[in-house]
Amino acid sequence: MGTTHHEPQRALQPPTLPADASEPLAVWLIPVLQDNYVMVLQRGRRAAVVDPAVAEPVVAALEERSLELEAILHTHHHSDHIGGTPGLLRRWPRTAVIAAAADRERIPLQTRSVAGGDRLQVLDEPVEVIAVPGHTRAHIAYWLPASGHLFCGDTLFAGGCGRLFEGTPEQMHASLQRFAALPDATRVWCAHEYTESNLRWATAERPDDREIRERLAEVVDLRRRGLPTIPSTIASERATNLFLRTQNGAELGRLRRSKDGWKACAT
Ligand code: ZN
Ligand code: FE
């Protein structure tokens, strides 16, 4: 896991290996802090990360697999999503830093500033930027249409949605509906492990909803075994996420207030 083996290994690798693009894209996660997830995109020995809260566990995980970091993608400016970037740049100084142009002030070190509708390539994979205001005013998500992954930051959580710090319920409703329109099988990589608490609230909110109750049981089982509940899928969220099922901003606002005031104080 040390750093000493990296320089020689890099020297042995030709800088442009055309065969590399034919390697499949893998996505996996690194749990950090209380309940944050840093997502890793990997193609061969090349890696990109989404929302690195901290640097050290990310450096360790990439070095353990002899990966080279090429890009950091940010969904929004909160410190538990950008805090690791300076440390990652110290280890991999040529890494691209992708974030919302509208957040240039709040997300420093950007090398590629983007906006909703932009298309880019990360590890030779097409990526579409979706503007999803609500949690923050400049929050963006990254959709990988070819491989069916969505990195949604703190906008959509499994069974829940982000708090409305800077946006309106109408904006959050519109943002979630963008996600609801994505293909069923899209894997949803949320930046926090909030699923069990979200579904406990949802079962209190809709005690007769069998699908939510069944999903909660699956999630409790995963957590008991120490496993992440992420990624979710768009199909699963459409079926069991009350926020995704709302008809309009007013309804979403009522649910959001209910969730804000809810305490998981029972057994
Ligand atoms: Zn946040
Ligand atoms: Fe967060």
Pick the CATH number of 26-264 from 3.60.15.10, 3.40.50.1820, 3.40.50.720, 3.40.50.2300: 3.60.15.10
173 annotated active-site: no
Residue 18 Cα to ligand 1 midpoint, Å, equals 37
Q: What is the DSSP string of the chain?
A: --STTHHHHHHHS-S--GGGGGSPPEEEEEEETTTEEEEEEEETTEEEEE--S-SHHHHHHHHHTT-EEEEEE-S---HHHHTTHHHHHHHSTT-EEEEEGGGTTTS-S-SEEE-TT-EEEETTEEEEEEE--SSSTT-EEEEETTTTEEEEETTEETTEE---SSS-HHHHHHHHHHHHTS-TT-EEEESB--HHHHHHHHHHH-TT-HHHHHHHHHHHHHHHTT-----EEHHHHHHH-TTTT-SSHHHHHHHHHHHHT------
Full-model pTM: 0.91
pLDDT at 138: 98
Residue 207 Cα to ligand 2 midpoint, Å, equals 28
pLDDT at 106: 98
Ligand nearest to the CA of 77: 1
192 annotated active-site: yes
pLDDT at 116: 98
- CA–chain centroid gap for 88, Å, is 18
pLDDT at 20: 57
pLDDT at 265: 54
Residue 79 Cα to ligand 1 midpoint, Å, equals 8
Ligand nearest to the CA of 76: 1
What lies within 8 Å, CB to CB, of 8 at 6+ separation is none
Residue 82 Cα to ligand 2 midpoint, Å, equals 10
154 annotated active-site: yes
CA-CA distance, 200 to 41, in Å (whole number)? 31
124 annotated active-site: no
Nearest in space to 92 (alpha carbons), one of 160, 163, 7: 7
pLDDT at 13: 45
Residue 86 Cα to ligand 2 midpoint, Å, equals 18
Residue 161 Cα to ligand 1 midpoint, Å, equals 11
Q: Which residues of the chain have pLDDT under 70?
A: 1-21, 264-267
20 annotated active-site: no
76 annotated active-site: yes
Q: Which of 81, 139, 149, 173 is catalytic?
A: 81
